[in-house]
Every structure is written in structure tokens, then in C-alpha cells.
Amino acid sequence: QLRTDFYSPSCPNVFKIVRKEVQRAMMNEMRIAASLLRLQFHDCFVNGCDGSIFLDGDDSEKLAIPNRNSARGFEVIDTIKTAVESACSGIVSCADILTIATRDSVLLSGGPNWKVLLGRRDGLVANQTGANSNLAGPTETIQSILTKFTSVGLNLTDVVSLSGGHTIGSSRCGVFNTRFFNFSGSGAPDSRIEESMLSDIQNTCPSVNGDGNKTVPLDRNSVDLFDNQYYTNLLNGQGLFASDQSLATGNETLTATTRTIVELYSDQNQRFLDDFVKSMIKMANISPLTGTDGEIRNNCRTVNS
């Protein structure tokens, strides 16, 4: 139902406008590309790709545990929406703006280009409970992450290729640093961690008296470039989260399967990029609202009155 030329008659300049605003935002702060990419993941896994993550309020998804003090980029979405509205008022949904902005973020980070399918409409409600339950955490097993992906129609290959989103962006120390000191209550760091990374992160993210909001790169050797370095890191024991590292090493049952894919992507950048695009298109297709369902929000933060 979604189509690449959905806005050709009604807002032909939407691509140019979004591209320009993403470019501007990245000039100001490169990391914003990663933040926008993550927003699409967190939007699509909760009520489908319907812009529900943009809604403000006490019951918002923004205040769910995986997003609170963590999800970012909302001001950039507001800026893009304002620019799009001034060119074609009431035509382009916030959900579609995010989809285009995400593609542009990946492309402008040196990643692949692709044609995005459009025609999503914006949802009328946020789902904070859904955000708390559907989004994966950094200490979850691959099996548990796979279950969450399967329930939105994605598979194990999608888990591995989309985890490659961690090729750009950063994480706060507080969400992962116990792994570097007291891994799952063992009193010791995760033994899979490569030694230079271990001392580096222990220094940057101390377990006591540290600033849990300090950030470190997810892809320690290539933080701003959209490439396959993330997978090479995993093979070298340099994954930041246990959930990343377990795709390549460890004693989980699924690791044998995911490691084969990690090796493939580490070996062939193009294969990673091709699979990432396929998985992104699948993810952006999760239960869109179309036709007369939902609405075209005037302001991404609130439903229309």
C-alpha cells in the first residue's frame, strides 16, 4: 500500500526539504544521524511506524524506560516538520518524515541509499507500556531479542543486520558499564571483552562516582561512518553491549547462527549494506496506518484537535 511516489503530486519537494534539514542538523552535530535512526526503530516497534514516539505527555513513549533521557532528535523532527509544512501544509505525516530523515541520515553518514516507501499516517495514541515491553535492552539474550523482532515480522537475519545500526552513534555509560566491572553478578568483567577496550571503558565509565550520562561510541573504531566495522569489532571482542557481543561470541544457542552472519558482514561491507537496506525497508513497513486511518498531524508532538 505504501509507495515511493506517494507525495509526487502533493509535495514533490519533500525529499529536498528533508535532506537539507538533515544535512544542516548533521553539520551542527554528526551524532544526530544516529539519533534519528534509533528513533525510527523505536517508533516502528511500538504500534507500528506511526509517529507515536513523537507525542508528548505523561503517558508518552518518550518517558518509557528505553527512551527516557535517551531518545533524542525530537527538535530536529520539529524543524523538518515546520519546513515541510511551509511548503505543503497538511500533507506529509510525521511518520513519513522520520522514514525519509532516517534514510538521509544513513546515506549522509556514508551508508547506502535506497528508495523509501511512503504514505504512512500518524497514530492517534502513544503506547508507553508497549515501548517498555517491545524494545530490547542491552543485557537481553539474542533469543529474547529475536522474540521481540519476530512479533513484528522480522527474523534472525534482521536482528543481525539491524544491530549494525550500532555502527554509528553513542551510548551513555550508565546503561552498560556493569558489564565492564561486574558482569551479570559475577564480580568480574565479561571475559569476552578485548583488553584495551576493557581498560579504556573502565577509565571512561567508572563504576563508582562516574557520570552515568557520559557517552562513548557504540562502534569504537568508526563512530560516525556507516560501515561494517561494528561486525569486525564483535569478532575482536569489542562489542559495547552484551547484546551486541553475543551475536559473535558466547554460550547462547543462537550465537552459532548469528556468528556466521557477523563473519559474512565483517568480510563483505556491501553484503552488510544490502541486507541493512532490506531490513530497514521491512522495519519501516511494520503496521503502517494508511487510507483514512490515523491523521496527518499538524505538530508531531500532539494529535490534531
Which residues are catalytic, by number? 42
Separation of alpha carbons 166 and 231, rounded Å: 10
Partner interacting with residue 219 (select from ligand HEM, Ca ion, none; CB below 5-8 Å by kind): Ca ion
Angle at CA 207, nearest 5°, toward 203 and 213?
80
- Residue ranges for the known binding site are 43, 46, 48, 50, 52, 61, 166-167, 219, 227
Q: Is 257 in the site for ligand HEM (CB under 6 A)?
A: no
Question: What single string gives the DSSP state of each residue in 32-48?
Answer: HHHHHHHHHHHHHTTTS
| DSSP helix/strand/coil, 192 | coil
Positions in 218-247 near Ca ion (CB under 5 A):
219, 222, 225, 227, 229
Separation of alpha carbons 161 and 155, rounded Å: 10
- Residue ranges for the known binding site for heme b are 166
Positions in 68-87 near ligand HEM (CB under 6 A):
70, 72
Encode burial over 100-124: b for 16+ CB neighbours within 10 A, e otherwise.
Answer: bbbbbbbbbbebeebebbbbbbbbb
Question: What single string gives the DSSP state of each residue in 246-286?
Answer: TTTSSS-TTHHHHHHHHHHHHH-HHHHHHHHHHHHHHHHTS
Stretch of 2-10, 35-43, 57-65, 89-97 contacting ligand HEM, by CB under 6 A? 35-43
Partner interacting with residue 34 (select from Ca ion, ligand HEM, none; CB below 5-8 Å by kind): ligand HEM
Stretch of 10-18, 33-41, 92-100, 115-123 contacting ligand HEM, by CB under 6 A? 33-41
Separation of alpha carbons 127 and 228, rounded Å: 33
Separation of alpha carbons 230 and 41, rounded Å: 18
Which of 7/241 has CB closer to ligand HEM? 241
Closest separation between CB of residue 124 and ligand HEM, Å?
25
Pairing of strands 215-217, 170-172: antiparallel
Which of 123/169 has CB closer to Ca ion? 169
Stretch of 61-69, 198-206, 213-221, 294-302 contacting Ca ion, by CB under 5 A? 213-221
Closest separation between CB of residue 258 and Ca ion, Å?
19
Residues 6+ apart with CB under 8 A from 144: 136
Separation of alpha carbons 136 and 19, rounded Å: 29
String of contacts with ligand HEM for each residue 218-247, x by CB under 6 A: x------------------------x----
Positions in 157-216 near ligand HEM (CB under 6 A):
159, 162-163, 165-166, 168-172, 175
Closest separation between CB of residue 29 and ligand HEM, Å?
10
Q: Which residue shows C-alpha cell 509507495?
A: 3
Closest separation between CB of residue 35 and ligand HEM, Å?
4
Closest separation between CB of residue 91 and ligand HEM, Å?
27
Partner interacting with residue 53 (select from Ca ion, ligand HEM, none; CB below 5-8 Å by kind): none
Separation of alpha carbons 27 and 17, rounded Å: 16
Which of 11/248 has CB closer to ligand HEM? 248
String of contacts with Ca ion for each residue 169-188, x by CB under 5 A: --------------------
The answer to whether the CB of 244 falls within 8 A of the CB of 163 is: yes
Residues that bind Ca ion (CB under 5 A): 167, 219, 222, 225, 227, 229
